[in-house]
Amino acid sequence: MTAPRALRIVGKSVPRKDGLAKVTGLAAYIDDLTYPGLLYGTTIRSTIPCGEIASIHLDFDTTGFTIVDVRDIPGRNVVALIDDDQPCLVEREVRHYAEPILLLAHEDRERLLEARAKTRIEYRPATPVFDPERSPKVFKRLAIDKGSLDEGFALADVVVEGEYRVPHQEQLYIEPNGMLAIPAENGVTVHGSLQCPYYVQRALRVVLGLPAHRVRVVQVETGGGFGGKEEYPSMLACHAALLALKARRPVKMVYDRIEDLEATTKRHPGVIRHRTGVTRDGRLAAMDIDVLLDGGAYATLSAVVLSRGVLHATGPYRCDHVRVRGRVVMTHTPPNGAFRGFGAPQTQFAVEVQMDRIAETLGLDPVTLRERNALRAGDTTATGQRLGRDTSALRVLREAVRRTDFRRRRRALAGTNRGLGLSLFFHGAGFTGAGEVKLASKATLELVERGVRVRVASAEIGQGSRTVHAQIVAETLGLPYDAVEIAQADTDQVPDSGPTVASRTAMVVGGLLQRCAAEMKTRLAGLTPRQYLKAHGPLSVTKEYRKPPEIEWDEEAYRGDAYGTYGWACDVAEVELDPDTCEVRPVRVTAVAELGRVLHPVMARGQIEGGTLQAVGYALVEQVVMRDGRMANAQLANYLIPTTRDTPAIDVVLLERPYRHGPFGAKGVGELPMDGPAPAIANALRHLGFDVREIPATPERLMELTRKGKGL
Amino acid sequence: MRTPLSPLRLFEPRSLRDALRLLADEGPLVPLAGCTDVYVSLNAGAPPGTRFLNLWALDELRRIEVRGSTLMIGALATYTQLARSKPVQARLPMLAAAAREIGGIQIQNRGTIGGNIGTGSPAGDSLPVLAAAAAVVVLQNARGRRQVPFNRFYTGYRASVRRPDELIVAVEVPAVDGRQWFRKVGTRAAQAISKVVMAGVRADRPRVALGSVAPTVIRATRTEAVLAETGDVAEARRALMTEIAPIDDLRSTAAYRRRVAGNLLERFWADTGIADRRSPIAD
Amino acid sequence: MRFTLNGKVVNVRAHPMKRLLDVLREDCHLTGTKEGCGEGECGACTVLVNGAAVTSCLVPVGQVRGARVTTIEGLKRHRALQEAFVSEGGAQCGICTPGMIMTASTLGPSPSLDEIRSALAGNLCRCTGYGGIYRAVQRAGKKKHGGRL
């Protein structure tokens, strides 16, 4: 993973731009901001999952309160996203628990608490649907077909079938959602904790009926996102803005943890069914896959989550005859949405457990089966994408097997309380299909006295975007790292670089910045910034996304190059079982990942470690308990994420194989590590004798498997 | 925080005498020790009352000392104090072990044994230890003290014999003969509410106490009797199943709790049966 | 209500049951202490009271009368720890970082990995997987004692 000698800054672990402010407590997050005349806002939400509002009663003295309901919306009552089906405030029909109905603001938070307690809403309840299999409404269907299933199954010696279930998962950024809206002349400014400034701006324009230049969105320091601040902030920003505009005063709305857990998005739960035809020697002859995701009450981003889900449903394997059918449906639960991995962790859990079951059926070891079928350069994926030389499935597999001495260790552990399992996986970097073309992202580089200023809409949410962008620009321009400053993600100051999602910030936006920097270098023609400014005046360079010519995607047929490139990884998990309690201790996870080019080793490792632990939580402990459409365990004492003592040793191995369209060869890294640990852990439990097909693999579930004779 | 403060009142006595007088004159008051439970309720908008009595300043209730053969633990002794206390480590290692597994260090620095007893959650981690140690709760009001055997302290779910004008001021633990054993099963490795928690003492008359398997912490007396009379752990396990009544809740299932309780009983018996005299309590 | 905050005596007028967390952030304008859950689970609001780490969301200000309170803004003599959090990737989004550093500052010299894991079990981090945090604390521990970096 050593970078070529020519690189001075890229590939080095330079100090992160936001480091000092964060370790001294000076970094200002949304709840740290205040304004003169500030009001606090709160949301009155539905307490039934399905029905109609019959009446609203405000049993308190409303003097001094600002009260907003659906009639106060000057524009359209919709949180603009894809299908525009989610209202900003309920008009009559309630589709889920904790749906926003009424907004209140007051300068005294105690009065707000009292008012909340004295706001009564009466309903005409209707019968909710919680089981996605019985949903009356399909938000989106997708189909991928390759070859002919009949031909494929005719070639197969054995058919293995399986049904796999994955749960809700809460992003659990440690900073809950928050927004602060300030009325401006003829418009509004909204500051907030968010990932996508321009998504929020568009939502505000639609709800407020204002043109873009009257709506300013500023991202402040954001305490984690993981997808959870991709779409929901649009809703909250609209609420804060409606209150602020009505009150003509600044309004801050910061959710407490309970509200954040009950009302905001989660990872889509799903049921994935596999029917796989294999030859006796372990070649995949036919893959028939059905993906069902629970979208919750509104479409939000479900269609794109499903898209990524089905595009990763076969795992990183070659197979000539594939059918994937996917659908995401409505239930009367809070909408599910973006969460790191975005559909791929769900479907790759299923295929990777299915692979171990196939290996078991054939009497092959899990490595051999994967070696026989792993995608290689020149192979085609299920959508017919022909893979390039940066196809590293075999390489990461072999490296992980070598590092962990997988086969021998697995034999050595047989009969003990420890199990060893692996998973092989990939993750498409950047937007799916033609997404990047539609986005047409822009980035701007501006010359300043001390160097340059980066103007992009990418949100620093902990992943290190400011640092990586500065590295790319400094390296390209031949300037010191400290000579690059990063403008705040403020729609008045930065162009639309697209959302901070989909592992695209380093690869796509970083790529735009590399092009900006290259042009600026030519324009500078050897002058320092100061000299240039003196001689020629201001200089700024803006670049727009350019599709690499060889990438072709047919959205209608769902054929072609689903992603520009993929990250590849293999996880090996070792777990230890307590036979008395069926508690599982993850002992060690070895994560081998190929990321194109490692721009910042410390941060890349941090991405892999952090994603891996989120996925360990997904596999073993994290559980949203839904009762009558309501999250019943909406407290951190009851929705548990891993602590230091639940964390395995995580060995990270970073491999490089530069991607020719990424800056310095970089691919996306953020989501990849979320996809593999859950199946690796499930397969380690399989090694221990547990037929795990559903996560989280809680002690209760494992105990139940033991009782049914499917464990130990 | 979802509870408005203005309706709340905090009484701040300077001494135990003051506190007992306030309880008598102003009661009922909700006593506040380390607040690790009450503030969770306040945060959720479910205050346990509106009038509170701050005990935190009463240093006289923080002492841990040995008097004769009895270990005296002041009600305000924190888990950190318990875990570090030499007398506790020497005489009641299962309590030190329990204290180390409660919350993170921030909670251990604030949570108190008196608070754990007073809250009376069936999942309270120190409670099975006190039950197995045959501890005595010392209650005091303005008129005097009384001692209640721990195993007669609770009358039902979060209900006890403590009268509104009484404070828990201490817990007294007589010498415990035999090998002590403690095990907490939570939802994760640290900072978790118990799904099953068990304390045991291996002696001629073994003692077994469990939390999270009934509305209150319980001493499994029938199980103990079987162990004492026959030493047959399989038989004792059957007896235990008649003594516990776990439920399904957010954290676990009744079926799981029953099996784990049975398995822990066997583990206790196996761990403490060997000749090795080292403490079986793992750090 | 008098107490010592970061070495200086302060006098605050507040309801005695107001959370120390809110008093610090609103009355004392020290916003480095963060709220993540309000129920003592996440540790983001960790401060030191008389040198011991506590979650300030569970402490009524009435209970710090006369006590020494230290927040991230007043953390002295731990620059090595703070710097190591930057260089080792111990801080990503940064919201857990002040609380994490406050707890870590109570560790003894050259703590073992096991000691670090036990001490920090009450501080949740969702970004790092804790690896960068362990390395930061270990590096700072070594630096403090002149060990090799």
Question: In C, which residues are within 8 Å of B57 by CB distance?
Answer: 63, 65
- C119 touches B at CB < 8 Å: yes
Mean pLDDT of the region A34-62: 98
Beta pairing class for A178-184 and A251-254: antiparallel
- Kindly state whether C144 is in contact with chain B, defined as any CB-CB distance less than 8 angstroms: no
Domain assignment present for residue C106? The answer is: yes
Domain match, C83 and C133 both: yes
CATH of the domain at C132: 1.10.150.120
Domain identity same for C101 and C67: no
| Facing residue for A113 by CB, picked from B4, B44, B104 | B4
Reported as a pLDDT band with limits 50, 70 and 90, residue C149 is very low
Q: Are residues C89 and C28 in the same domain?
A: no
B242 has a chain A CB within 8 A of its CB: no
Q: Which residue is it, tokens 């050593």?
A: A2
For residue range C22-37, list pLDDT tens digits in order. Answer: 999 999 999 999 999 9
Q: Are residues C19 and C57 in the same domain?
A: yes
Query: What is the mean predicted confidence (pLDDT) over A407-418?
Result: 97
H/E run at residue A183 = strand A178-184
Band (pLDDT 50/70/90 cuts) for residue A55 is: very high
Which residue of B104, B185, B251 is in closest CB contact with A638? B251
| pLDDT for the residue numbered B281 | 57
Please answer whether residues A575 and A585 qualify as being in contact, where contact means their C-beta atoms are separated by less than 8 angstroms: yes
Asked if C39's CB is within 8 angstroms of B54's CB, the reply is no
Q: Do A398 and A404 form a contact (C-beta atoms < 8 A)?
A: no
CB-based contact B182:B281 (threshold 8 Å): yes
Band of pLDDT at residue B144, cut at 50, 70 and 90 = very high
The predicted structure's pLDDT at residue C147: 34
- Per-residue pLDDT of A130-177, as tens digits, reads 999 999 999 999 999 999 999 999 999 999 999 999 999 999 999 999
Same domain, C114 and C87: yes
Report the share of chain A in percent with pLDDT over 90.
97
Distance CA C62, CA C40 (A): 18
Beta bridge partners of A576: A418, A585
CATH of the domain at C11: 3.10.20.30
Measure the CA angle with vertex B167, ends B61 and B21; round to 5°.
95
Tokens representing C58? 């569970």
Q: Is residue C140 part of a domain?
A: yes
Report whether A696 contacts A167 (CB < 8 A): yes
User: Within a domain: residue C40?
Assistant: yes
Q: Helix count (H) and strand count (E) of chain C?
A: 5, 5
Question: Do C53 and C101 reside in the same domain of the chain?
Answer: no
State the pLDDT at residue A1.
43
Distances (CA, A) of A125 to A49, A50, A100, A122, C42: 8, 6, 16, 9, 37
CA distances from A398 to A360, A565, B168 (A): 20, 21, 63
Write the pLDDT tens digit of every residue in A201-227.
999 999 999 999 999 999 999 999 999
In chain C, whose CA is at the least distance from the CA of B107? C54
pLDDT band at A297 (very low <50, low <70, confident <90, very high): very high
User: CA-based Rg of chain B, rounded to a whole angstrom?
Assistant: 19
Domain assignment present for C111: yes
Given a cut of 60, is residue A197 above it in pLDDT? yes
Planar angle of CA A98, A235, C126, nearest 5 degrees: 80
Q: Is ipTM > 0.90 here?
A: yes
Query: Which pLDDT belongs to residue B27?
Result: 86
Amino acid B249: pLDDT: 94
State how far Cα A368 lies from the chain centre. 31
Pick among B251, B252, B269 to test the A interface (most A CBs inside 10 A): B251
Nearest to C95 among A26, A223, A463 (CB): A223
Residue A643 with chain B: CB contacts under 8 Å = 104, 188-191
* pLDDT more than 70, % of chain A: 99
Residues 6+ apart with CB under 8 A from A446: A452, A453, A455, A538, A539, A540, A541
The rounded mean pLDDT for chain A is 97
Tokens 């992980």 belong to A400
> Is residue C88 domain-shared with residue C59, that is, in the same domain?
no
CA atoms of A635 and A629, how far apart (whole Å): 16
- Would the CB atoms of B185 and A581 count as touching at under 8 Å? yes
Residues 6+ apart with CB under 8 A from B214: B122, B244, B245, B246
Structural element, H or E, at residue A217: strand A215-219
Nearest chain A residue to B5 by CA: give it: A110
Say which DSSP state A177 is in. P
Tens of pLDDT along A335-361? 999 999 999 999 999 999 999 999 999
Instruction: Enumerate residues 6+ apart whose C-beta is below 8 A from A268.
Output: A168, A293, A294, A295, A296, A302, A305, A309, A328, A336, A337, A343, A346
Tokens of C22: 């809110």
- Across the interface, which of B36, B52, B191 has its CB nearest the CB of C121? B191
Smallest CA-to-CA distance from A479 within A1, A20, A21, A14 is with A14
- Pair B83, B45: CB distance under 8 Å: no
Domain final residue pick, C74, C103, C124? C74
Q: Which of C24, C49, C74 is the last residue of a domain?
A: C74
Other Cβ atoms less than 10 A from the Cβ of A579: the count is 12
Smallest Cβ–Cβ distance between B10 and the set C46, C59, C62 belongs to C62
Residue A433: pLDDT above 90?
A: no
Q: List all residues 6 or more positions away from B244 whose beta carbon is below 8 Å from its beta carbon.
A: B210, B213, B214, B218, B220, B257, B258, B261
Residue C83: domain span = 79-144
Alpha carbon distances (Å) from A671 to A437, A479, A564: 21, 31, 15
Residue A3 is predicted with a pLDDT of 46
Element at A287 (helix H, strand E): strand A284-296
CA–CA dist A390, A662 (Å, integer): 12
Q: How far apart are CA A343 and CA A179, in angstroms?
A: 28
Residue C28 lies in a domain: yes
A569 φ/ψ angles, rounded to the nearest 5 degrees = -155, 155
What is the three-class DSSP state of A665? helix
Contact A25, C71 (CB under 8 A): yes
Instruction: Look at residue C142 in the predicted model and tell me its pLDDT.
Output: 75
Q: pLDDT tens across B33-73, in order?
A: 999 999 999 999 999 999 999 999 999 999 999 999 999 99
Query: Does the pLDDT at position B283 exceed 50?
Result: no
Give residue B272's Cα distance to chain centre.
22
Compute the distance between CA of residue A289 and CA of residue A352 in angstroms, rounded to an integer.
13
What integer pLDDT is reported at residue B282 of this predicted model?
44
Given a cut of 70, whether residue A560 has pLDDT beyond it is yes
Chains that touch C (3 or more CB pairs under 8 A): A, B
Query: Which contacts (CB < 8 Å, 24+ apart) does range B193-196 have?
Result: B193/A637, B193/A638, B193/B123, B193/B251, B194/B123, B194/B125, B195/A699, B195/B251, B195/B252, B195/B256, B195/B257, B195/B260, B196/A581, B196/B246, B196/B252, B196/B257, B196/B260, B196/B261, B196/B264
Confirm or reject contact between C42 and chain A (CB < 8 A): yes
The Cα–Cα gap between B244 and B214 comes to 6
Beta carbons within 8 Å of A528's beta carbon, 6+ residues apart: none
Characterize the bridge pairing of strands A322-330 and A284-296: parallel
Can you list the positions of beta strands (E) in B212-252? 218-219
Beta-carbon count within 10 A of A566 CB: 29
Kindly indicate the confidence band of residue B279, based on its pLDDT and cuts at 50, 70 and 90.
Answer: low
**What is the enclosing helix (H) or strand (E) of A659?**
none
Q: Are A570 and A421 in contact (CB under 8 A)?
A: no
Q: What residues of chain B, 259 to 278, have a C-beta less than 8 Å from chain A? A: 259-260, 263-264, 266-267
pLDDT greater than 50 at residue C145: no
**Domains of chain A, start order:** 19-29+441-544 (3.30.365.10), 33-127+178-253 (3.90.1170.50), 270-433+558-707 (3.30.365.10)
Domain shared by C52 and C83, yes or no: no
In a domain, C122, yes or no: yes
What's the CA gap between A47 and A70, in Å, rounded?
A: 18
pLDDT band at residue A299 under the 50/70/90 scheme: very high
Residues of C in contact with A31 (CB under 8 A): 25, 31, 34-35
Query: Mean pLDDT score of chain C, rounded to an integer?
Result: 94
The number of distinct structural domains making up chain C is 2
Query: Which of C42, C58, C74 is where one domain is finished?
Result: C74
Pinpoint the alpha helices (H) of B120-200: 127-132
Q: Please tell me the predicted confidence (pLDDT) of residue C148.
A: 33
Same domain membership, residue C70 and residue C31: yes
Predicted confidence band of residue A288 (pLDDT cuts 50, 70, 90): very high
User: Which residue's structure tokens are 């991230």?
Assistant: C72
C120 & C101 share domain = yes
Whole-angstrom distance, CA of residue A102 vs CA of residue A72: 10
User: Residue A529 carries which side chain, given as an amino acid letter?
Assistant: P
What rounded mean pLDDT belongs to chain B? 95
CB contact under 8 A, A222 and C125: no
* Alpha-carbon span A510 to A75, nearest angstrom: 36
One-letter-per-residue 3-state SS of A443-510? EEEEEECCEEEEECCCCCCCCCHHHHHHHHHHHHHCCCHHHEEECCCECCCCCCCCCCCCCCHHHHHH
User: Residue A672: which of A565, A579, A582, A541 has the closest Cα?
Assistant: A565
Checking DSSP bridges between strand C68-70 and strand C2-5, what pairing results, if any? parallel
The residues, any chain, with a CB within 8 Å of residue A21's CB and separated by 6 or more, are: A27, A221, C94
Residue B123: pLDDT over 70? yes
Domain assignment of residue C62, yes or no: yes
| H-state helical runs in chain C | 20-22, 79-87, 97-104, 113-119, 131-144
Residue B276 confidence (pLDDT) above 70? no
Q: Give the one of A632, A637, A645 whose C-beta lies nearest to B189's C-beta.
A: A645
Does residue C46 sit in the same domain as residue C6?
yes
B191 and C65 within 8 Å at the Cβ level: the answer is: no
Q: What is the DSSP letter of C27?
A: I
Token reading at A16: 């992160």
| Interchain pair B35, C59: CB under 8 A | yes
On whether residue C149 sits in a domain, the answer given is no
State the angle between helix axes of A344-362 and A366-373 in degrees (0 to 180), rounded to the nearest 10: 110
In whole angstroms, give the CA distance from residue A349 to residue A353: 6
A258/B2 Cβ within 8 A: yes
Residue C64 and residue C84 share a domain? no
